[in-house]
Amino acid sequence: MPKLHWRAKSKRYAVRAVIDTNILVSALLTPGGVPAQLIAAIRTQALTPVISESIISEYTNVLSRPKFGFASNRTARLLEDMKGLALFLKPQPIPLQDLPDPDDAPFIAAALTADCVIITGNRKHYPPKTGIEVLSPAEALSCLSG
């Protein structure tokens, strides 16, 4: 099991992580799945999401795509919970060169600023050279459980 570097700056932010957008999509697509269980952990404040304005914009953009067909009330509730329970940051932008997906730069910047992990279902978007610890949803849930 990977060693986590989830450091507490205060009691409220004891376990924090940047949550990749694909976790939110998966949680809405499969309500009983592991990503949905991570969202439940956020709602019970066992996990604190780390976000920025850029991350919220990405969440909103992706979750509103017609191809998913998510009910607007479900996405609105999820976004409201993510914003209301999150640690908001204003991270400095990072260089975009050599990133597999430049759209992931805000997630990397937030994780670097908060000194926390990124939870994603797509590890290849966060190569080791970024210096970020990356966990799959199952790894993160396992660490939270035990």
Distance (Å, whole) CA 122 – CA 78: 21
51 with 89: CB under 8 angstroms? yes
Chain segment 109-143, per-residue pLDDT in tens: 999 999 999 999 999 999 888 889 999 999 999 98
Distance (Å, whole) CA 3 – CA 129: 18
pLDDT on residue 95: 77
Distance (Å, whole) CA 55 – CA 105: 10
Chain segment 5-23, per-residue pLDDT in tens: 444 444 444 689 999 999 9
Q: At what angle do helices 34-43 and 72-84 cross, to 10 degrees?
A: 50
Chain segment 17-42, per-residue pLDDT in tens: 999 999 999 999 999 999 999 999 99
Chain segment 58-89, per-residue pLDDT in tens: 999 999 999 999 999 999 999 999 999 999 99
98 with 55: CB under 8 angstroms? no
Q: Would you give the DSSP letter of residue 19?
A: E
Q: What is the pTM assigned to this prediction? A: 0.89
pLDDT on residue 94: 83
Q: What residues contact residue 97 under an 8 Å CB cut-off, 6+ apart?
A: none
